[in-house]
């Protein structure tokens, strides 16, 4: 069969298919029900045109039509539920219900003892140190005791900051995992930050997220603070807390420990410490 005859016989059908594609492109439905059979015929025509070595132009045209048809036919109208969602919606509840008595008993143990402790501490506050240890108690008091007068706008501010900062870090770590974890390591190093807090109980420093606990220098041990902003001189035995920059505050303490704390704003930190 010559190309001329081939085209003449089928061009009407291809046109119909093209019109259908336009309808589908607009988001409407194929009311004629012809779409699948027209698509199959088009695929046959494409194979035939290639096999017969018909002109490049015709093959390209048919290929484009078939591609668009393929896109519409195999597009998932409703996104398939992913395995994770399926597990959250069905699998997990089913597993919990299967092990019902066990889950109930364990929850009873966990929440029951928690409730008992809470009740005990509320009734007899002097019991608190035996549950938490005095260090954690001091920290808790520092965290919640002083500035109760936080405004709601601050909360919203911090909410936004945590989403921007922390979730972004999480996403970057996730992406970095692709390079056998090296990418994550880079993201982690970039995420590192020195957290310095000066409270009435003294100075608290940690390098997040590598250190979970703050290093605490009690206020009564603090003797003084010197700003070191030119060239840092580091000696053996010093404790150094720094992530970036060459400015720091050097602490003098009664215990004789030397501590160097890197900061972008040495003046502010020194002033806060000397108060």
Residues that bind another protein (CB under 8 A): 2-5, 7-8, 18, 21, 39-40, 43-44, 46-47, 52-58, 60-61, 63-68, 70-71, 74-76, 79, 82, 151-161, 163-165, 167-168, 171-172, 174-176, 178-179, 183, 186-187
As measured in angstroms, the least distance from the Cβ of 148 to another protein is: 18
Q: State which residue, 154 or 195, has the beta carbon closest to another protein.
A: 154
As measured in angstroms, the least distance from the Cβ of 84 to another protein is: 10
As measured in angstroms, the least distance from the Cβ of 195 to another protein is: 19
Let me know: does 251 contact 269? Beta carbons within 8 Å: no
Using CA atoms, how far apart are residues 20 and 68, in angstroms rounded to an integer?
Answer: 11
Q: State which residue, 42 or 203, has the beta carbon closest to another protein.
A: 42
Range 181-190, long-range pairs (CB < 8 A, 24+ positions):
none
As measured in angstroms, the least distance from the Cβ of 188 to another protein is: 13
Q: State which residue, 75 or 274, has the beta carbon closest to another protein.
A: 75
As measured in angstroms, the least distance from the Cβ of 143 to another protein is: 21
Q: State which residue, 65 or 260, has the beta carbon closest to another protein.
A: 65
Using CA atoms, how far apart are residues 263 and 249, in angstroms rounded to an integer?
Answer: 7
Q: State which residue, 4 or 255, has the beta carbon closest to another protein.
A: 4
As measured in angstroms, the least distance from the Cβ of 145 to another protein is: 24
Q: State which residue, 74 or 124, has the beta carbon closest to another protein.
A: 74
Q: State which residue, 70 or 90, has the beta carbon closest to another protein.
A: 70
As measured in angstroms, the least distance from the Cβ of 175 to another protein is: 4
Backbone angles phi, psi at 256, to 5 degrees: 90, -5
Task: Choose among 236, 232, 230, 239: nearest CA to 258.
Answer: 239
Backbone angles phi, psi at 143, to 5 degrees: -70, -40
């Amino acid at each position: 069969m010559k190309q001329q005859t081939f085209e003449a016989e089928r061009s009407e059908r291809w046109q119909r298919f093209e019109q259908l594609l336009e309808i589908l492109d607009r988001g409407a439905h194929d009311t004629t029900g012809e779409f699948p059979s027209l698509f199959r015929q088009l695929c046959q025509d494409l194979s035939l045109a290639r096999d017969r070595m018909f002109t490049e132009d015709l093959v390209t045209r048919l290929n484009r039509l078939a591609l668009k048809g393929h896109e519409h036919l195999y597009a998932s109208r409703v996104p398939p539920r992913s395995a994770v969602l399926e597990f959250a919606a069905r699998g997990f509840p089913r597993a919990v219900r299967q092990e019902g008595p066990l889950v109930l008993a364990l929850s009873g143990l966990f929440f029951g003892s928690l409730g008992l402790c809470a009740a005990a501490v509320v009734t007899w506050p002097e019991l608190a140190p035996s549950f938490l240890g005095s260090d954690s108690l001091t920290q808790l008091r520092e965290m919640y005791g002083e500035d109760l007068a936080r405004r709601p706008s601050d909360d919203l501010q911090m909410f936004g900051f945590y989403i921007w900062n922390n979730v972004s870090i999480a996403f970057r770590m996730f992406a970095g995992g692709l390079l056998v974890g090296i990418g994550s390591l880079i993201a982690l190093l970039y995420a590192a930050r020195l957290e310095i807090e000066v409270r009435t109980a003294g100075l608290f420093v940690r390098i997040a997220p590598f250190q979970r606990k703050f290093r605490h220098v009690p206020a009564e041990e603090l003797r003084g603070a010197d700003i070191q902003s030119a060239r840092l001189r580091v000696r053996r035995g010093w404790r150094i807390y720094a992530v970036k920059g060459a400015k720091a505050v050097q602490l003098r303490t009664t215990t004789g420990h030397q501590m160097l704390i890197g900061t972008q704003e040495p003046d502010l930190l020194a002033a806060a410490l000397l108060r």
